[in-house]
Amino acid sequence: MSQKSVIPSIVVALMLTISGITAIECKAAPYFNGQHYKVNNAQQAARLVKKHTGGKVLKVERAKVNGNPGYKVKVLKDNGHVVSMKIDAITGKVSGK
């Protein structure tokens, strides 16, 4: 292999390595006003409410809870009643019926 063909190969290899490094996703927890979230996404909110109520989660949407980011979760309880629960994403506190 000549020196002229080795140099472009090295440059391409370096570019691929660098682009792979910059594509690494940061897994740090989100924060709000310097506080880390206890609940980071809708799936976590649904699991938390299901554990709290034992019911079937019907819908999850983002909502403000006590001025903090959070989630509103609609649940079908075992007794047939549909209730709305709220989860404060900062504290992880569940409120509702």
What is the tally of structural domains in the chain?
A: 1
pLDDT tens profile 20-41: 544 444 444 555 566 688 999 9
49 close to 88: Cβ distance less than 8 angstroms: no
Residue 20 domain-assigned?
no
Calpha distance 48→54 (Å, rounded): 10
- pLDDT of 77: 93
Residue 73 lies in a domain: yes
Is 45 within a domain?
yes
Does the pLDDT at position 86 exceed 70? yes
The CATH code of the domain that includes 41 is 3.10.450.40
Task: Kindly provide the residue ranges of all beta strands, DSSP E only, lying in the chain, ordered along the sequence.
Answer: 31-32, 35-36, 56-65, 68-76, 82-88, 94-96
* Region 51-67 average pLDDT: 94
Residue 24 falls inside a structural domain: no
With residue 29 as reference, give the H or E element that holds it.
Answer: none
30 residue type, one letter: P
Separation CA 41–CA 81 (nearest Å): 25
